[in-house]
Amino acid sequence: MRRLIYALALPVVLFAGWWVLSAGSESFYAPPLSDILTAFGDTWTLAALKADVLPSLLRLLAGYLLAALIGIGLGLAIGLNRRLRAVCEPVLEFFRAIPPPVLVPVIMLFAGIGDTMKIIVIVFGCVWPILLNTVEGVRAVDGVVLETARSYGVTGPARITKVILPSAGPQIAAGLRQALSIAIILMVISEMFAASNGLGFTIVQFQRSFAIPEMWSGIILLGLLGFALSLMFRLAEKRALRWYEGLRESQRRAG
Amino acid sequence: MTSARRRSPARLDHPALLGVAGLAGLLLIVQLLPTLGLVDDRFLPPTSAIVSALADEAGTGQFWISLKDTLVAWGWGLLIAVSAGVLAGFGIGSVPLLRNLTASTVEFLRPIPSVALIPLAVLLYGTEIGSSLLLICYAAFWQVLVQVLYGVADVDPVAYETARSYRFSAAARVRHVLWPTALPYVFTGVRLAASVALILAITAELVIGSPGLGKDIAVAQASEAVPTMYALIVVTGILGVLINLLARTGERRLLAWHQSVRGEVPA
What pLDDT is attached to residue B262? 56
- Rg of chain A over Cα atoms, rounded to whole angstroms, equals 23
> Distance between CA atoms of A236 and A174, rounded to whole angstroms?
13
Picking from B198, B207, B217, the nearest residue to A192 by CB comes out as: B207
Distance of alpha carbon A152 from alpha carbon A132, whole angstroms: 30
Q: Residue B163 — φ and ψ, nearest 5°?
A: -60, -40
Q: Tell me the shortest Cα–Cα distance from A199 to chain B, in angstroms.
A: 10
pLDDT score recorded for residue B2: 47
pLDDT at B267: 39
Q: Which pLDDT value is given to residue A202? A: 86
Q: Is the CB of A189 less than 8 angstroms away from the CB of B100?
A: no
**Which one, of B190, B26, B206, B54, lies nearest residue A94 by Cα?**
B26
Name the minimum distance, in Å, from the CA of A240 to any CA of chain B.
21
Percent of chain B residues topping a pLDDT of 90: 18
Split into its structural domains, chain B has a count of 1
- DSSP 3-state assignment of A140? coil
Question: What angle in degrees, to the nearest 10, is found between the helix axes of B129-153 and B96-109?
Answer: 140
Do the domain assignments include residue A17? Answer: no
Residue A147 included in any domain: yes
**Cross-chain Cβ contact B112/A10 below 8 Å:** no
Confidence (pLDDT) at A122: 92
**pLDDT greater than 90 at residue B56:** no
Place B4 in a pLDDT band, splitting at 50, 70 and 90: very low
Question: Would you state the pLDDT for residue B84?
Answer: 94
CA A230 to chain B, closest CA, distance in angstroms equals 7
Q: Between vectors from CA B180 to CA B176 and to CA B183, what angle results, nearest 5°?
A: 145
Mean pLDDT over B93-105 rounds to 82
Q: Does the residue A43 lie in any domain?
A: no
Indicate yes or no: CB of A105 within 8 angstroms of CB of B239: no
Work out the average pLDDT over A98-109: 87
Provide the CATH number for the domain around residue B147. Answer: 1.10.3720.10
A136-158 pLDDT, tens digit per residue, is 888 888 788 888 888 888 877 88
Domain annotation covers residue A248: yes
Q: What is the pTM of this model?
A: 0.83
Full domain range(s) for residue A89: 60-254
Q: Is residue B72 part of a domain?
A: yes
Q: A172-192: per-residue pLDDT in tens?
A: 888 898 899 889 888 888 888
The structural domain count of chain A equals 1
Q: Does B236 touch chain A (CB under 8 A)?
A: yes
Q: What is the ipTM of this complex?
A: 0.79
Answer yes or no: is A228 within a domain: yes
Residue B263 has pLDDT above 60, yes or no: no
Count of CB atoms within 10 A of residue B202's CB?
Answer: 29
Residues 154-193 of B with CB under 8 A from A: none
Residue B105 falls inside a structural domain:
yes
Instruction: Name the residue facing A98 among B42, B112, B240 (closest C-beta).
Output: B240
Provide the pLDDT for residue B70.
92
Taking the C-alpha atoms of residue B267 and residue B255, their distance in angstroms, rounded to an integer, is 18
pLDDT at B27 over 60: yes
